[in-house]
Each structure stands twice: as C-alpha cells, then as structure tokens.
Structure 1
Amino acid sequence: MSIASIRTAARQSVSGLPREFWWLWTSTLINRLGSFVATFLALYLTLDRGYSASYAGLVAALHGLGGVISSLGAGVMADRLGRRPTLLIAQVSTALSVALLGFMQQPATIAAVAFVAGMAANASRPAVQAMMADIVPAEDRVRAFALNYWAINVGFAFSSLAAGLIAEHSYLIGFLGEGVLTLVCALLVFWKLPESRPEPTDAAGAGAGGEPAVSLWTVLHDRRFMAVVGLSFLMAFIFMQHSVALPVAMGADGFSPGDYGTVIAVNGVLIVAVQIPVTRLLERRDPRALLTISALLAGYGFGLTAFAGSIGVYMLTVVVWTLAEVVNSPTQMGLVVRLSPSHGRGRYQGMYTMSWSVAALVAPLVGGAVIDRFGADVLWGICAVVGTVAAAGYWLLMRGLPTEAAEGAVAPGPAPKETEPAAA
C-alpha cells in the first residue's frame, strides 16, 4: 500500500465528524493520558505503603464498587441535568478525589476516598457516550465510537509507561498529575462543548419528538436492551480475565511479570494499530454477524490459553481475543445507541456501563476461585463456553431487528412503547 493510499484512508476515517466530537475525543484522550490510580493503586498500597495484598484487593474492589453504583446515577443525571453538567461534576469530583487519595494515611480513609474516586471516575462514561450519540449522525456513530476507543487505548498505553516512571520517584506526583489532567478535561468541557441533550420531557410525560418519557423502570422493562446488557456482561467477563487470571496462570507456569507485560502489551499495540482501519472496513457490515464472530473470537481466544506453553503462543491468544475486542466494542456501542430513545440515552448508557463495572468486580473473583479450586485450564474452558453462549445470544437477539437504513437517520427508542419492547 502506498503512502498516498494510507493518507487517503486516514482522511476518510476521520473526515465528516462534527467539531464537537473532536473536542469530546480530545477530552477522552487527555483523561486517559492521566490514568494513574486504577493502574497503580495496588502497587502503591503494597509496595509504597506496606499494606497486605488482601487490603489492596479490598480497596480495589471498593473503587470498582463505586463505579457500579455511579453508573446508573450518572445516567439519570445525564438525562435530567444534561450531558455537560454531568461531565463537569464527574470530572471535577474525580480531580479532587484522586488528588486527595494521595494524601490519605489511615486504612479506613484510604478505602473511603478510593470508593468516592471510583464513583466519580465512572460517572463521566454514560454522559460521554450519550453526548457522542447526540452529536454524531447515525451513519457515522460506529466510526466515532471506534475513534474514541482508539483514543482510550492510546492514552492508556502512554499513561501506563509514564506512570511507571513516575511511580519510581513519587506516587504522590502520579495522584496529583491525574487530578490536574482531569481538571483540564473539565475546563475543556466547560469552554468547548455545548449541551447536546434533546429537549427534556414535558409535564405530560412526552419527550423529544413526542416520545414517551423514560425512567430506569422503562430501561429495566426493555427486554431486548436488557438482553444486550446481559450479553455485554458476558463479553466483559471474558475480557476482564486478562487482568488477574492471565498473569496468575502465567506465573504458575513459571513466567515472570516481565513476560506477562510483554504478552499483554500486544493487546494495546494491536488496538492502536488496527482499530481504525478495521472499523473502516467493517462499519457497513451486518452487526449481527460481527457481534457473533467477536463473541466466538473472545471465548476461544481465551480458551486457547489452555494450550499455551511459550511466550509466542500466549501472544497469539492475545491477538485472537484482541481482534474480538476491536470488532465488538464499536459495534456493540452502535447497537446500544440504536436501542436507546434520544431523550433517555443517559439512563440507557448508564445501564450499559454498569454491565462492565459489575464484570470488573465479578470476573477477578470468579477467575481466582476457579483457578484455586480447579486450575487455570478449567477457567479457559469456561471462557470458551461463555463466548459460545454470547455468540448464540447475539444471533438470536438481533433476529428481526431493522437495519439502520430502515430505521432512518435518528436512532429510535427500543419500541413504540418502552415498557413493551419487541423481543427476539
């Protein structure tokens, strides 16, 4: 491929998106460049502060639990207060709480502030996703979500490297640095991003365009959407095994932490390298087939880990499930938007975000318990089974779902009556 063709493909991948999207994209990139607490919290507590691994695990769990709780609350805020105020509140709260965490001395206060920091950090996600759906035309949303996901991974890759260097000198600098960069995100939102929320519901309960009002009860009764949330949890459960189960299994096989670092680096490098071109290639493809294939790749990618005995084979398994991640993330986000009414996107995105937050809590616990009791190979077999179940679920769920072209340019609600959505 010539340099000219590469430039043309790159221009086509980023062209045509609203200016507001790029400010939101920039905010995401800056936020991820400052990621420190979630990455190095366990090392900070055990190596720098001298606490036990059990206490570090408890604090990490509380940080994750805060994210679970805030997912739904932030989604409601995004619909009631607006996307912009929710983002400002979440980012300012995150900046203050992570900076404060670096000064906490007592175990109880560390745990409490970590819980608040987890709530604040996760609260921005439903608002970001809802705003992105608001401002990007339907035909460009999959590409927009892919570009945003690419920014997340680029930022995380650089922040992990920088945070490792910073941690060698001072963990406090890392906490304060994340606080400052998150505050920069809040200022960027304040100065550059207008409110994108559709007109709020009127007194009679009608939303924008005369659609019925949306509550959390509406979301819970949307059977097709809640099925997507359940499938999202299964996919997240599989992907989350890379953070605890994979390094534990590699350690049991005699590999070093450096070996694990080399293997898992393939994930970030591959996402950065192929996310945009792959999305460009697949954005007009059948989402039913893409989600089904991605579930099989995820399940059997981790399943293949049972046969890994060398660094090269471990890297190959990472390539397989990373391709699943590349395909699944933007496609599933596009499906979530299609099933969400415009005036209820915050609540719907909050419920979707919660599926990943719950998986972040459950997956390490289940993975560790299975490895301790039955061995890692059993866990990898379970991943293959879960991936197969998710693939079947996607295939059945999307039977009869209209194509985006048939639905029109505006993503519709889940059904004419949200309390009685069409079920697969």
Structure 2
Amino acid sequence: MSKWWRQIVGGLPVTFWYLWTASLINRTGAVGQLYLGVYLLSVRHFDAAYAGLVIGLGGAGTALGALPGGILADRWGRRPTMLAAGLPAAITMLFLGHATGRASILILSTLLGVFLGAVRPAFTASIIDVVAVADRGRALNLNYWAFNLGSGAAALLAGLLVRVEPALLFALNAGVLLFSTLLLAWKVPETRPAPATTATTPAGPGTVARDRVFLTFVGLAMLGWTMIETNKILPVALTADGLDVTSYGQVIVVNMALIVIGQLFLLRLTEHRRREHVLAVSAMAAGLGFGLVPLADTLWAYALTVAVWTIGEMLMTVANSALTVELAPPEARGRYQGVFSFGLTAAMFVGPSLGGLVADRFGPDTLWVAVLGLGMLLTAAHLAAGPPQNRRLAQLRLVSEHAAPHRSSCRDEPGTAA
C-alpha cells in the first residue's frame, strides 16, 4: 500500500503541492458556484429555464475568459494572470449573493465566469510547467482528484448553508476565492518556461487555429462535457418525482465520492490504453447514465444513474487531460490550454441552458433520451478521430526527440523549476 501511495503522490515538486492545495481549498468553499441552480430554484423561486440561463451564461463567461487567459498566460505570465483575475472573481461572487434583479444576476454570473475562466489556463499551465514530462498525467489527475474531493465537501456544506442562511453560500465562496488567490501570490512563483527551453520558432496567435487535429479533439471534448453538464438540470427531474430539490446535493455527492475513490486508480488502469478507446467508452457510459434518468423515481435510483455517468466522466477527464498536454507545443501551452478550457467551459453554457430549455418545452425525459443519443454518436466519433490524433502525436514525438539535445543543455528545464 505504501509503495502504491508513493507511486501516486511521490516525486512531485513543492510548487505543485501549493497549486494542489489552492485547488482543494477553492473547491471546498465553492458552495455558491455549486448550489447556484438550487438557490435560484428553491430560494428565489425562478423557473428552470431562467436558472439554466444563469448557469449557462456563467459557463459562457468562463469560456470567453479562457481564450484571453491563455494568451496572457503565455505573454504576461502564469502568476500575474491568476492574481489579476482571482481578486475580481471574489468581489463578483460577493455581489452575486446580494443581487435581486434578473438582469443583475445574469450580468454578475457572466462576469464571474469570465474571471474564473481567465485563471484556468494559467493554473493548468503552471502545473504542466513545474512537473516533469513523465509525471504530468499523474499531476493533472491529482489536481482533478482534489477538485472533486473539495466539491464533495462543498455539496454537503452547501446543503446545510442553504437551509440556515442562503447568503452565506456566496459570502463563504467569495472568502475562499480571495484566500486561494492570496496563497498563490504567496507561495507560487512564475513558472512560464524561459525562451531557451521552448522551440526556436515562437508560436503566433494563429497556431491553435491552424491545428485541425487539436480543434477536432476540442470539439469532441466540448460535446462530451456538454453531456456531463446536463447534470445541473437533475433538480428538475428530482422535483418532478416529488423529491426535495435539495436532494440534488445528496445524489451529486455520489459523483464526487466515486471520483475521489476511483480517480487515484484509474490513471494506472488506462495509461497503456489507446486514447480514442478510452474516450469512446467514456462517451458511452456518460450517455447511458443520463439515459437511465427517466427510469429513476427514488433517491437511490438517481444515485445509481449518477454512478454510471460518473464512470464516463472519470474516463473522459483522464484521456482529455493527457491529450491536451501531448498535443500542445511548449511555446503555446497557455494558448492550447485556453482553447481547451474554452471548449469545456462552452459546454457549461450549452449543457445547462439548452438542457433547461428542452426540459421546459418537451419535458425532462426528452432531454435524457437526447443525451443518450449524443453519447452514442460521440462513441463513434472518438473512434474515427483516433488515427489522425495518433499520427500527430508521432510527429510531435519526433520533433521532441530532435529538440532534446538543446533542452538538455538548458539549466532551467520545465518540470524541474520550483
């Protein structure tokens, strides 16, 4: 057991663990972000379509913030980008808890998404910068594990706070955003690779736009995450079956608990599998999980559906994280992370907003059947996209081998910087 634990967490630099700690703290206190839909439905008594629109615009803002965030992370630096966006995010969260008008809630949710989205590419690029090549998949997996460990705690905490005083959701969330930003300012130095450690030809703004293989991958990842994000509409199905809307927190804990338990094992189980095969299975599992929702009518049945699509989410995350790192050249790491974050966070808009609209007009069951169909289509699409991805990865490995003598002569190679 101790040997397995060392294989999971051993050998990673101190700076990574400060980033990991900031991620864990941030998610543990993300009670306002997690329970925003429940707050709008059960406390403010808005309809499902409006609640989905608010959450969706927050996702759209996150997507919009990811693109300039990635560019700034490459040009300005990882650290200043995270700090410049983290502080206004905390202030916006505080204001969101006191907003009463429909328009003001929509605007603040969008702004919050923009600030949070700008942080993501710089944060992920910092992890990739400081961790050795062989350990990057493990490090990203551990960060995702921390994200869900904190989210599980946040779900339980939010369920208590929404009953005591709903405004506390946003006050606590704002305080945690501020604290995690200050931790990054105190303990995480600038990690952006020096020019000598990257390719000799600098990446221009159109580098990612010309990469069809990567853009295809991002498009499929966006559709896959759109399926996962429709879980925000589960409160509609729960209430339609006569269950308390706050039971969403109880069933979604299944998602986070499975990730916390299983994610540490999943990387080793999938590391020698072809990426397209893992992604195809993930899409099938996610679609099946949501496709079972119309058959559920009890808390335990809903928990079972969550368990099924969570398997898809975990497989999807492992394979997507690996491919994002492998397909990105070092000199454009922030940009590639920004475009990938844009795709995933665009799904945060499409999933809840379109899902809420479909559930309102055609009924929740129609939504879940549509998600099942999308999962089956994505299964085939991932298998078709595999060969071009594998050819691109082979080309990038050849380039990396030719550049290896230059990198070995540099003192500050990414992965060893602290």
TM-score using structure 2 length = 0.85
Question: Are 1:143 and 1:280, in contact at CA under 8 Å, matched by a contact in 2?
Answer: no
Seen in structure 2, the aligned counterparts of structure 1 residues 15 and 410 have a Cα distance that, compared at 3 Å, is farther
Please, which of 99, 113, 117 is the counterpart of residue 112 of structure 2? 117
Residue 41 of structure 1: aligned partner = 36
One-letter code aligned to 1:242: N
Please, which of 157, 168, 174 is the counterpart of residue 169 of structure 2? 174
Seen in structure 2, the aligned counterparts of structure 1 residues 409 and 333 have a Cα distance that, compared at 3 Å, is farther
Tell me, in whole angstroms, the C-alpha distance in 1 between the residues paired with 2:71 and 2:84: 13
CA positional deviation for 1:394: 2.0
Q: Does 1:225 align with 2:225?
A: no
One-letter code aligned to 1:238: M
Seen in structure 2, the aligned counterparts of structure 1 residues 301 and 412 have a Cα distance that, compared at 3 Å, is farther
Tell me, in whole angstroms, the C-alpha distance in 2 between the residues paired with 1:61 and 1:404: 37
Residue 224 of structure 2: aligned partner = 235
Residue 66 of structure 1: aligned partner = 61
Please, which of 298, 303, 307 is the counterpart of residue 319 of structure 1? 307
User: Which stretch shifts more, 283-292 or 300-309?
Assistant: 300-309
Matches within 5 A, 1:408-423: none
Residue 4 of structure 2: aligned partner = 9
One-letter code aligned to 1:288: E
Please, which of 277, 291, 297 is the counterpart of residue 265 of structure 2? 277
Residue 77 of structure 2: aligned partner = 82
Matches within 5 A, 1:178-189: 178-189=173-184
Residue 160 of structure 1: aligned partner = 155
User: Which stretch shifts more, 296-305 or 41-50?
Assistant: 41-50
Seen in structure 2, the aligned counterparts of structure 1 residues 408 and 317 have a Cα distance that, compared at 3 Å, is farther
Residue 134 of structure 2: aligned partner = 139
CA RMSD of aligned residues (A): 3.0
Q: Does 1:367 align with 2:355?
A: yes
Residue 410 of structure 2: aligned partner = none
Q: Does 1:213 align with 2:208?
A: no
Q: Does 1:287 align with 2:275?
A: yes
Residue 95 of structure 2: aligned partner = 100
Aligned length: 401
TM-score using structure 1 length = 0.84
Where do 5+ consecutive residues of structure 1 fail to align?
202-206, 414-424
User: Which stretch shifts more, 15-24 or 299-308?
Assistant: 299-308
User: Which stretch shifts more, 307-316 or 185-194?
Assistant: 307-316
CA positional deviation for 1:327: 1.5
Taking CA–CA contacts closer than 8 Å with sequence separation of 6 or more, which of the two structures ends up with the larger relative contact order? 2
Q: Secondary structure at the match of 1:134?
A: helix
CA positional deviation for 1:346: 1.3
Where do 5+ consecutive residues of structure 2 fail to align?
404-418
User: Which stretch shifts more, 337-346 or 110-119?
Assistant: 110-119
1:317-342 Cα offsets, whole Å, 9 max, x none, are: 32221111111102211101111111
Seen in structure 2, the aligned counterparts of structure 1 residues 286 and 50 have a Cα distance that, compared at 3 Å, is closer
CA positional deviation for 1:129: 1.3
1:16-43 Cα offsets, whole Å, 9 max, x none, are: 2222111111111111112132223345
1:335-354 Cα offsets, whole Å, 9 max, x none, are: 01111111211111111111
Question: Are 2:8 and 2:138, in contact at CA under 8 Å, matched by a contact in 1?
Answer: yes
Question: Are 1:238 and 1:298, in contact at CA under 8 Å, matched by a contact in 2?
Answer: yes
